[in-house]
Amino acid sequence: MSPDQAHDQGSTRRRLSPAPVLDLDPLLDDPATRIVVCCGSGGVGKTTTAAALGLRAAERGRKVVVLTIDPARRLAQSMGIDSLDNTPRRVKGVEGDGELHAMMLDMKRTFDEIVEAHADGDRAASILGNPFYQSLSAGFAGTQEYMAMEKLGQLRARDEWDLIVVDTPPSRSALDFLDAPKRLGSFLDGKLIRVLLAPAKVGGRAGMKFLNVGMSMMTGALGKLLGGQLLKDVQTFVAAMDSMFGGFRTRADATYKLLQAPGTAFLVVAAPERDALREAAYFVERLAAEDMPLAGLVLNRVHGSGAAQLSAERALAAAENLDLVHARADENLEEPRIVDQDGGKAGLRNSPDTYGSSESPATDPERDAPTGANRQTATDTDRTASADATTGAHSGAHSGADADRTVDDLTAGLLRLHAERMHLLSREQRTRDRFTALHPEVAVSEVAALPGDVHDLTGLRDIGNRLAANRPELPEAADA
């Protein structure tokens, strides 16, 4: 079957319609785009993607701030944001008229700032010194997510930038940053708070008496569970924060609305791996349920191949052919007079034909052209000579056969490397196709895998180019 035939057959087979390509430049250039949120599971390159998008937008003329959560140290250093001062810093080395500012989130500091901004001196001090507050702000479940959204709201309110690119925390679930503010908000607003505040507020109101019996039973249970002193810390904290609760809730709601606003675009970031794409699919569904605007999927670390026409199976078979040539040559070297060279050669010439003949001779007139055959003959002649030399005296001279052999070993290695690449590629393709089948409406931008990590603006610029290249890295049809 010729490659062309294979292609024809592939196209008549039922196959996935290709995912729409995500065109990022128009999104970044559009002045109506004010917030880009990069979300996805851990280890898929969210931070790098956020930084690369920020740089690209800045170099295309926008005034951008990138809010990163936990950047790799060297990336943070190269952007000059490795000091934790919780405010955006201008990044040097950006080309063009735009500006890039970047910051790394310090969640405790962000929380402290909220307290300081909303409570007077004494009350703020008592909150900041409360052991319960200290644990809460130092980063237990949800705080980081909450503070990331809080910071986003603050940056947006300052209105100094025309585009904010946000990275999201590496949560156990990519959805946490949507849920955490609500959860904290509903806690701070909820019945529990009133129960906790009850002892402080019991004061002569006869109508409340019955209710308070129930409530003190509750606080009794809580006290039993938490221990009296912790409960007291919580109560003091809650009492001190009482005046701020409304503010918390209002801001959490405002941030949530901001995420739904037309100027916001969500990018789901994933790698072509099962878990990452499963998480991405959940996220796509969740965003739709929350009426949050999804721009598309960024698929990082995708592998391609310039030689995708050569399948893994054929590459491996060809590598074996090369091994075989030398295995037989070795036999010949050891027992040059016993093994019939011509027989061995005939076998060799025949075996690759199984693969060679699958290419249509008509489309490749030179396949059987003298080059290959001549080389083979020449090699065999050399080998005979070298065998003679070996049986005679160990001349040690470099013969053409040795050179051929080294090149053949290398070529076999190249072919095995290619087979490995093709296996990877078809696995990535299957994973991606599964996502595309579930969500054909989601536009995808594929970014080629880089051998190393990104540490500097040049690297980020390169990623930016790849992000905006509008070109799939993986072949479309699942024929491989």
Partner 1 sequence: MVTLEDVSRLQVVSGKGGTGKTTVAAALALALATAGKRTLLVEVEGRQGIAQLFETQALPYEERKIAVASGGGEVYALAIDPELALLDYLQMFYKLGGAGRALKKLGAIDFATTVAPGLRDVLLTGKACEAVRRKDKNGRFVYDYVVMDAPPTGRITRFLNVNDEVAGLARIGPIHNQAQAVMRVLKSSETAVHLVTLLEEMPVQETADGIAELRAAKLPVGRVIVNMVRPEVLDEDGLELVRTVTRSSVARSLSAAGLGGARRGGHAERLVDPLLQQAEEYAERYALEHEQRAVLGELDLPLHELPLLAEGLDLAGLYQLANELRKQGIA
Q: Which of residues 283-312 bind partner 1 (CB under 8 A)?
A: 305-307, 310
Interface residue with partner 1 among 103, 148, 222, 444 (CB under 8 A) is 222
- 245 interacts with partner 1 by CB under 8 A: no
Q: What does the buried/exposed string (b/e) look like for 246-275 if buried means 16 or more CB atoms within 10 Å of the residue's CB? A: eebbebbeebbebbeeebbbbbbbbbbbee
Per-residue tokens: 345: 């050669």
The token pair at 222 is: 């809580």
* Residue 142 binds partner 1, judged by CB under 8 A: yes
- DSSP letter assigned to residue 21: B
User: Residue 474 CB, nearest distance to partner 1 (Å)?
Assistant: 15
Name which of residues 29 to 68 contact partner 1 (CB under 8 A).
Answer: 41-44
- Residue 30 or 402 having the CB closest to partner 1: 402
Restricted to residues 319-348, the positions that interact with partner 1 (CB under 8 A) are: 319, 321-322, 325
Q: Which is nearer to partner 1, 217 or 327 (CB)?
A: 217
Q: Interface mask (CB under 8 A) for partner 1, residues 346-385, using x and -?
A: -----xxx-xx--x----x-xx-x-xx--xx--x------
* Residues in CB range of 211: below 8 A, 6 or more apart: none
Cβ-proximal residues to 77 (8 Å cutoff; 6+ apart), any chain: none
List binders of partner 1 among 430-459 (CB under 8 A). Answer: 430, 451-453
Nearer to partner 1, 27 or 425 (CB): 425
Q: State which of positions 77-116 bind partner 1 (CB under 8 A).
A: none
- Helix pair 143-158, 176-189: axis angle to 10 deg: 90
Asked whether position 186 contacts partner 1 by CB under 8 A, the answer is yes
In the complex, least distance from residue 391 CB atom to partner 1, rounded to whole angstroms: 25
Report in angstroms the alpha-carbon separations of 452 from 231, 358, 448, 458.
50, 38, 12, 13
Query: Which residues lie below 8 Å from residue 19, measured CB to CB, with a gap of 6+?
Result: 297, 432, 436, 440, 442, 443, 444
132 touching partner 1, by CB under 8 A: yes
Q: How many residues bind partner 1 (CB under 8 A)?
A: 97
Using rule CB under 8 A, residue 273 touches partner 1: yes
Binding marks (x or -) toward partner 1, 401..420, rule CB under 8 A?
A: --xx-xxxxxxxxxxxxx-x
Provide the 10 A C-beta neighbour count for residue 216.
Answer: 15
Phi-psi region of 304 (alpha: psi -120 to 50; beta: other; left: phi over 0): beta
